[in-house]
Structure 1
């Protein structure tokens, strides 16, 4: 089993025909901000500057990550204190905590877990990183060791694990799809079916698993779907209206018949989304398009039939389940008392 490249920041222009991007990058029309120089002014971001830089290099906004960390902790404390920890742990106690994988998978979100610790810890804390996001790990493997006040570590535990387990689960599922497509030119990419407020993190996790991102928001690129077609009075009409209103934006059009493939290809679509096509129909669509536009399959996709779709030569498989249905990767925190 090969290990995909770790996610790299990528700056994307409008799509051009050619080989797919390297695994771990963003997809065409993505607006994730990867490669941007995020403002690391300490007045705006209270995280450790080195940690903030690592987040920015991964295509994440450190200020947004810090906000999410605060939100998670504030939700958990609910304007109170960690009653159990305060009652059972001496104020001056210090411990080491090992974030450890309970099962095999692909890791994502280690620096985000560190951000949670950063907003909780009232004293300095030491971090020892054993693996990196995008690494494949085995059950029992240590991922991250943190040394700090025991009270702070226990208070941050659940919020840090919630994010780390969630994101690692997405990365693990994505890696399974990447494995299923190995040896083909087809890439798996995500959708906007994400948890509100966590989209940037969940799409980052997809990159950690070796997948690519679709658009980050409604303003990144156009995707003309069935309801837009109804509203506009037809596929070609919908495409024309978007092209006239936003001439510099990549346009993807969803179709459900081979006739519509020809129609939107003639209109000049950059990407064509094949909705609920069979592998045989997908192969016909690939032949019709002949490399003049990108093709993406959606619907009916499973790990069992992923290879059959990839073998048609389609460019992308759109898998909403990467972010909306991935089970968590079981990761725990093992506490070790230190003098």
Structure 2
């Protein structure tokens, strides 16, 4: 039984399975020795309680931790991914083999706490720029092995996803420009290699921005621009390119950044500066 279960995009189904299999292998190894303290056929029930206000994310990963160990475990949700959850709110109830519940508990909570953290901080950033027309975006600064999971969490929190990796987009940075001999040259080379993926170039000052615009760049990353520089970049671009602000973006500054008129704002902290949401699992034992 699973009420309010999340409906994942098809491309994430294999990701969930692989993430959870790796987490269980890491935690269980050759076997859960502590679980053997519990009678083999004992059953138990448990409830997951939230200790702080947050945005829930990670139901599929949470469920898979139990079901990869014992498909018969039953989970009933009282909320769903993307919902705001409050202090002392019960998120779900679980029933099944007691050993399975205890073995899956920590990996399941790890996924739910981590992904809820990314969804929660993303929602805060999104709310800070509401009404400006700008979009909050993630980066490749993700926890190793959890990139697609964290990008799902960003989407759940209301943010938008950049490229997944080095294979589905081209981001031209300082070293690429230097190696190619200049901005115009590197954009020409990238256009020949793009094969349909987006091409973005990072610039560090107004002069480089002007060169990129003159070379026909239509997606430009403004690295560590001041507010005045961002405003000037928007004026110079005049709609010729999509502009993305990046670098030292915080909850305190993002509203001012969005007010300059840039279309996109990328925030590495959505996925790397996270603090797990405080969740706990309470057990009740069958007698």
Q: 2:15·2:148 contact (CA, 8 Å) conserved in 1?
A: no
**Which residue is equivalent to 1:23?**
none
**Which residue is equivalent to 2:167?**
219
Query: Aligned partners of 1:267 and 1:311: how far apart in 2?
Result: 27
Q: Cα distance, 1:60 vs. partner?
A: 4.3
Query: Aligned partners of 2:64 and 2:170: how far apart in 1?
Result: 34
Q: How does 1:178-257 map to 2 (within 5 A)?
A: 178-246=126-194, 248-257=196-205
Q: 1:250·1:270 contact (CA, 8 Å) conserved in 2?
A: no
Q: 1:108·1:134 contact (CA, 8 Å) conserved in 2?
A: yes
Query: Aligned partners of 2:232 and 2:225: how far apart in 1?
Result: 10
In structure 2, the gaps of 5 or more residues are: none
Structure 2 length normalisation: TM-score? 0.94
Q: 2:6·2:80 contact (CA, 8 Å) conserved in 1?
A: no
The answer to whether residue 223 in structure 2 is matched with residue 272 in structure 1 is no
Which deviates more, 139-148 or 151-160?
139-148
Q: Equivalent of 1:68, from 19, 38, 41?
A: 19
Q: Cα distance, 1:64 vs. partner?
A: 2.4
Q: Equivalent of 2:29, from 78, 81, 88?
A: 78
SS in 1 for 2:245: strand
Q: State the Cα deviation string for residues 287-325 of structure 1 (Å, max 9, x = none).
A: 111112111001121110111000011111111111111
Q: 1:188·1:212 contact (CA, 8 Å) conserved in 2?
A: yes
Structure 1 length normalisation: TM-score? 0.80
Q: 1:251·1:271 contact (CA, 8 Å) conserved in 2?
A: yes
SS in 2 for 1:98: strand
Query: Aligned partners of 1:292 and 1:209: how far apart in 2?
Result: 30
Q: How many residues align?
A: 286
Query: Aligned partners of 1:250 and 1:74: how far apart in 2?
Result: 37
Q: Cα distance, 1:234 vs. partner?
A: 1.4
Q: State the Cα deviation string for residues 137-167 of structure 1 (Å, max 9, x = none).
A: 1011111211111110010000111111111
Query: Aligned partners of 2:130 and 2:211: how far apart in 1?
Result: 32
Query: Aligned partners of 2:112 and 2:14: how far apart in 1?
Result: 18
Aligned-CA RMSD value: 1.9
In structure 1, the gaps of 5 or more residues are: 1-47
Query: Aligned partners of 1:125 and 1:218: how far apart in 2?
Result: 39
The answer to whether residue 259 in structure 2 is matched with residue 308 in structure 1 is no
Q: 2:183·2:215 contact (CA, 8 Å) conserved in 1?
A: no
SS in 2 for 1:61: helix
**Which residue is equivalent to 1:116?**
65
**Which residue is equivalent to 1:24?**
none
Q: Cα distance, 1:249 vs. partner?
A: 2.9
Query: Aligned partners of 1:165 and 1:189: how far apart in 2?
Result: 21
Q: 1:60·1:201 contact (CA, 8 Å) conserved in 2?
A: no
